[in-house]
Amino acid sequence: MSNKKVCGVPKKVDLVMWTYNGAATLPAVLKRIGEVIPAGSVCQRIISDDNSTDATRRIAESHGWTVVLNKGRGISDNANTALGHVESEFFVSFEQDLLLARDWWSRVPRALADPKVAAASGMRFADKPRGVRRLQQYVAKKYRGEAQLESWLRGREMAAFTLGKTLDNTVYRTAAVREVGGFPKLTSSSGVDTVLAYEMEQHRYQWFVDYGVQSVHLRMGLKHELSHQFWYAKQLPEMWQKISEVTRRQAPPVTRFSVVYRFFMSPFTGLFMAYKTREPTLAYVHPLIRLYYLRGYLASG
């Protein structure tokens, strides 16, 4: 007889997380998950670890999570390793630096009552620096059509489509994720969530985002954000190529010209956003972000 747990649905879910040297944020992250999601609603807690060299595994186990080793390297393999251990009809994924919103459990999973919905998420914004947080909040508001910038949105369909569709606070319909082939395989670590959103669209599934639920993305300051922008932009070509394969259409229309143009316009847009948000640091934060994004894109070849 199988010794697998049989979990009630929809009241019970599996929790999964992928980690790599996350000891600095993991205690607070796991503690918050335990406070937000009732223990009686959880079947399994699974962490797939990418061979961390710090105290990640010890911390995870001390919070009642089962640690398995990533069968490959990077987020794609880590996510699929965790998915291989899921047994419930629904599961929730987290990243190691996400402080879950207090109202996440009471609001987000309800979207899966609609069988067309395969995934549901809340939003998440950086905790620091304040300028980055305000920038993210303003951009999110713009793409939702709530700011007076609708004319700027032409050509931004990709950003609007993927807004809030991230892997770090999402509940999934397990069968749907397996139907689309699991988490997309990318050699880079960025873009797994973006490609998955397009995969689900091709299979006629919906990814619901509750914009009112706002989790906290734990960051280490502006320097951390700038390095992240460089890293993300450097991996864009692979992500765009994967999207074009999934959708069987031309890759998203982001060109070298558009990246350079937005950089040169960033001092003006930074001043505009500083005025609109009453956050003066955006006057230099936005141009710096555009600079590092440009550098990463040019470094991608």
Backbone angles phi, psi at 66, to 5 degrees: -90, 130
Domain boundaries along the sequence of the chain: 97-220
pLDDT of residue 11: 67
All residues at 6 or more sequence positions from 144 whose CB lies less than 8 Å from its CB, including other chains:
163, 211
Of 34, 38, 48, 52, give the one whose Cα is nearest residue 86.
48
pTM tops 0.85: yes
Question: How do residues 178-216 score in pLDDT, each as one tens digit?
Answer: 999 999 998 877 789 999 999 999 999 999 999 999 999
**Other C-beta atoms within 10 Å of 156: how many?**
17
Q: Which CATH architecture has domain 97-220?
A: Alpha-Beta Complex (3.90)
Cα–Cα distance, 223 to 285 (Å, whole number): 11
- DSSP per-residue letters across 166-179: -SSEEEEEHHHHHH
CA nearest to 29, candidates 118, 88, 94: 94
5: confidence class by pLDDT, cuts 50, 70, 90? very low
- pLDDT value at position 95? 94
Q: Give, in degrees to the nearest 5, the angle at Cα 194 between 188 and 198.
A: 125
